[in-house]
Chain A
């Protein structure tokens, strides 16, 4: 089977070295099954998201020491709270993994159950983060206070916003699965959210190490 179209305008046949290369272009476009490139496309989206976080980390790295005579990390951060928050996100990662395993087994109810457990941990993470933010703002450590706090709220807030959208997406998929079951399209969506959710946990490793732990060392 040859899809190659050789130029018929040429009077002389193509040199053997060129025809050996095979086809140069493809007029007979083959069938692309629905969603066959979704996972790669979503991965590339995640990589672009990675760049957003890289810039926010760079901004925090540059501005993280500019307290403008305001409070610094040692006065503001509570590591036990951050540790609890980190464990919430880590638990939500493994429960999402369990949801994926249930999906591979084809069990609708268990997939939904583990997704909802993941949502509980995700919501706990967000609640703790919002509690921390409200405490900081109450103490006068607002984003306007210093360059350090602007960079801190932008970086951690952007991560929190991602988790919020991940939760909305998660609830949407719970409804989708209950209405349509574990069809191929829903499996694909669940796998995309899986990448997104684990990716957020990877970003959080950077946040707790470089913002909170290293902040306490400054």
Chain B
């Protein structure tokens, strides 16, 4: 337990708050600092500006490479937002926040990649056939 928690505890006792369950819950709440918000903001600006610049200037000639690079930037920026703006960590709400997030991420991955994969192959197999193929 940190020093801050102790002071908070003492503060509560001084005010006659004897409810033991009230103590502890308030430390689960996300708390940011100015430093965290500024770091998150600066990182986000950089991670947004680079993909826009890559696409608008066509700095990378190969389009597939560009697509992979900007997707990577998006993933990194999502993580930056999670840490610096949403204050995610493995300890919030006794780890249930993180567990819900991991579960959601797995479902999102399955839904998006599964849909794209299935529909790509279906489109491929349903291509209009040429006359010579029909015989």
Mark A residues whose CB is within 8 Å of B: 30-33, 36, 39-40, 43-44, 47, 50-51, 54-55, 57-59, 61-62, 79, 82-83, 86-87, 90, 93-94, 97-98, 100-101, 104, 191, 194-195, 198-199, 201-202, 205-206, 208-210, 213-214, 216-217
Q: Is the CB of A201 within 8 A of B85?
A: yes
Q: In the complex, what residues of B have CB within 8 A of residue A40's CB?
A: 93, 96-97
* Contact A202 to B81, CB < 8 A, known contacts A39-B28, A43-B93, A62-B116: yes
* Contact A101 to B37, CB < 8 A, known contacts A33-B25, A209-B70: yes
Q: Is the CB of A79 within 8 A of B66?
A: no
Count B interface residues, CB 8 Å. 50
B115 at the interface (CB under 8 A from A): yes
Interface of A is mostly: helix
Q: In the complex, what residues of A have CB within 8 A of residue B25's CB?
A: 33, 36
Q: Is the CB of B86 within 8 A of A195?
A: yes
B7 at the interface (CB under 8 A from A): no
* Contact A217 to B66, CB < 8 A, known contacts A30-B21, A61-B112, A202-B82: yes
| Seed contacts A31-B21, A62-B116, A79-B55; 15 additional CB < 8 Å A-B pairs | A54-B107, A58-B115, A59-B115, A87-B45, A98-B37, A101-B33, A104-B31, A198-B85, A199-B86, A201-B81, A202-B78, A202-B82, A205-B48, A205-B74, A205-B78
In the docked arrangement, what's the CA distance between A182 and B101, Å?
A: 29
Q: Is the CB of A51 within 8 A of B21?
A: no
In the docked arrangement, what's the CA distance between A209 and B19, Å?
A: 48
* Contact A33 to B19, CB < 8 A, known contacts A58-B111, A205-B77: yes
Question: Which residue on B lies nearest to A214, using beta carbons?
Answer: B67
Mark B residues whose CB is within 8 Å of A: 19, 21-22, 25, 28-34, 37-38, 40-41, 44-45, 48, 51-52, 55-56, 63, 66-67, 70-71, 73-74, 77-78, 81-82, 85-86, 93, 96-97, 100-101, 103-104, 107-108, 111-112, 114-116, 119
Q: Is the CB of A62 within 8 A of B119?
A: yes
In the docked arrangement, what's the CA distance between A93 and B85, Å?
A: 8
Q: Is the CB of A97 within 8 A of B85?
A: yes
Q: Is the CB of B112 within 8 A of A58?
A: yes
Q: In the complex, what residues of B have CB within 8 A of residue A213's CB?
A: 51-52, 55, 70
Point out which of A51, A90, A209 has the most chain B C-beta atoms below 10 A from its C-beta: A209
Point out which of B22, B85, B100 has the most chain A C-beta atoms below 10 A from its C-beta: B85
Q: In the complex, what residues of A have CB within 8 A of residue B81's CB?
A: 93, 198, 201-202, 205
Q: In the complex, what residues of B have CB within 8 A of residue A194's CB?
A: 30
What's the minimum C-beta distance from B58 to chain A, rounded to whole angstroms? 9
